[in-house]
Structure 1
Amino acid sequence: MYRLCTLLILFLLLGPGPAGAADVRVITENNPPLNFAGTGGPSGLATDLFLLMAGRAGLKVARKDIQVWPRARGYREIQEKSDVILYAMARTAAREKLFRWIGPIMPLHTSLFALKSRGIVIKDPVKGAWEYRYGTIRSSASEQELIRLGVPPHRLESVHDRTLNIRKLLLGHIDIMVANEPATFYSIRRMDLNPDDFEPVYRLMSSNLYYAASRDLDPALVLRLQSALDGLKADGTAARIIESYR
């Protein structure tokens, strides 16, 4: 009995050990420079920051443990399962109660882009959707925002990859590409295209990027991750990582 009591006291004092990759599934998408599949495994500023944050929080996740999935698949998984962290995600009013949030990582601005040569002017994104063909990223915050504003889903041409929308824009298959600004210009440069040929014609939304966690994920783990991220911001590490991807 004495030995049993001693073991119980030790367990209560020490608490559970660090969580490992088997306890949490980490999912991201191809959305450079935030997160993308690199030659050595998932990369990007949000990935590099997550790995440092996880290490400080005692979450044993290696780069190879992070899964790169299409956005719609990851978004569906985090809503259906209790052990998922998905990033990077815009924190919006529509999503607020669906997940636990760790962040913010950085601000995010999302715009409607057109070829500068077209001279397109958008004053109302809903009215514009009846005149122009919009290309969106499936299950993205910007696509959800357009639908919330009143754009019928059938007026949106939804794909899973931003570079595909850039090609469709160049070929005239769509008139407007809806995407976040830093990732769009990053992708344009990576495709050896001239950023000056593209222009944002309407700013759709501004938000902050976060790491999203399943609603049922251990709240103590979420709190440790948040504390670790706050520490990385306080000592300047987060800013250096973000700057390295500009």
Structure 2
Amino acid sequence: MHLRVLMALCLCFGLYSTSFAAPTIAVYASPNPPFNLREKGLVQGLAFDLLEASLATIRPRFSQEEIHLAPWKEVYDEALKHPTSFLISASRLKERESFFQWVGPIATVRLGVITKRGMEIPKGKNSLEILQNLKIATIKETSAEKVLFKEIGENNSLNITRVSTPLQGYKMLEYGRVDALVYTDLPFVYHLVNENQDVTQYKMAHVLLNTDYYIAAGKEIPKEQITIMQSQLNRLKEPDAQGSSMYERIMARYFKGAVLNP
């Protein structure tokens, strides 16, 4: 009798402990509005909308406790350590291909050199020649910075200021502290739209790479789940009776149809 009571107490205690255990991090993201951002205390954004849409028939919505928002290098390293998690939004670069399973694309982006409309940059055979006489800002550890440094080398003669956040880079360009910002077009467009600025006053002066953002899924997530996620994301992009897709309407909420032209 005493043994049965003891076992029952242990079982109850085990269930109690499990119910109050810290939740497992399921999503890693770095601040990259509108894809990933914290607003009114909540982590949210375009990438979360699309991630949850792709998982709509598989699991409930993510709780805030399941989401970790931190600088890119930190969340990238953490996602690699936790192969049952998701990393958003990730450029599908060649050196990352084998580390994840990929769902997407969730957006097509251009990595490149953004300037004000009146800024004329020199012609050249490569980025080193084109950017030689410009004051440039890059955001540390981002895909755009990595692509630039891969082309020109980290030991180069360019006048580059590396900043920690996209907002720092935006403001440096806006206030004329730099001539150019090396970054991604859609996050920059969202910043301008959100600040009620005129997107036509800026341009993508030089493209380093055309690429896509994806949901990077851990290697231990079942392949059957990845297939379902891809199928549901594809369905979002199919035109409906109104002649547009749910995907297009989601994108319009964030970008209002604005585009960063050459």
Q: Which residue is 1:71 aligned to?
A: 72
**Closer/same/farther in 2, CA of residues 241 and 29 from structure 1, 3 Å limit:** same
Q: Which residue is 1:148 aligned to?
A: 150
Give the deviation of 1:153 after TM superposition.
Answer: 6.0
Give the deviation of 1:200 after TM superposition.
Answer: 1.9
Could you give the per-residue CA deviations for residues 109-153 of structure 1, whole angstroms, max 9, x where no partner exists?
Answer: 222012334433353212344433332222222112112213316
**3-state DSSP class of the match of 1:157?**
strand
Gaps of 5+ in 2: 1-21, 256-262
Runs of 4 or more above 6 Å deviation? none
Q: Which residue is 1:110 aligned to?
A: 111
CA contact (8 A) 2:23 2:66 kept: no
CA contact (8 A) 1:85 1:212 kept: yes
Q: Which residue is 2:19 aligned to?
A: none
TM-score by length of 2: 0.74
**3-state DSSP class of the match of 1:178?**
strand
**Closer/same/farther in 2, CA of residues 153 and 30 from structure 1, 3 Å limit:** farther
CA contact (8 A) 1:42 1:64 kept: no
Q: Pick the aligned partner of 1:137 from 116, 136, 139.
A: 139
Q: Which residue is 1:241 aligned to?
A: 250
Q: Tell me the amino acid that sits aligned with residue 233 of structure 2.
A: L
Q: Counterparts of 1:170-209 in structure 2 under 5 Å?
A: 170-209=174-213
CA RMSD between the two structures: 2.7
Could you give the per-residue CA deviations for residues 31-58 of structure 1, whole angstroms, max 9, x where no partner exists?
Answer: 2222211226222222112222222223
CA contact (8 A) 2:86 2:218 kept: yes
The 10-residue stretch of structure 1 (185-194 or 201-210) with the greater mean CA deviation from structure 2 = 185-194
Give the deviation of 1:94 after TM superposition.
Answer: 2.5
Q: Which residue is 1:29 aligned to?
A: 30
Q: Distance in 1 between matches of 2:95 and 2:155?
A: 17
Q: Tell me the amino acid that sits aligned with residue 109 of structure 1.
A: R
Q: Which residue is 1:45 aligned to?
A: 46
**3-state DSSP class of the match of 1:97?**
helix
Report percent identity of matched pairs. Answer: 22
Give the deviation of 1:164 after TM superposition.
Answer: 0.5
State which structure, 1 or 2, has the greater radius of gyration over its C-alpha atoms.
Answer: 2
Q: Distance in 1 between matches of 2:103 and 2:80?
A: 16
The 10-residue stretch of structure 1 (86-95 or 127-136) with the greater mean CA deviation from structure 2 = 127-136
Alignment pair present for 1:127 and 2:129:
yes
CA contact (8 A) 1:57 1:228 kept: no
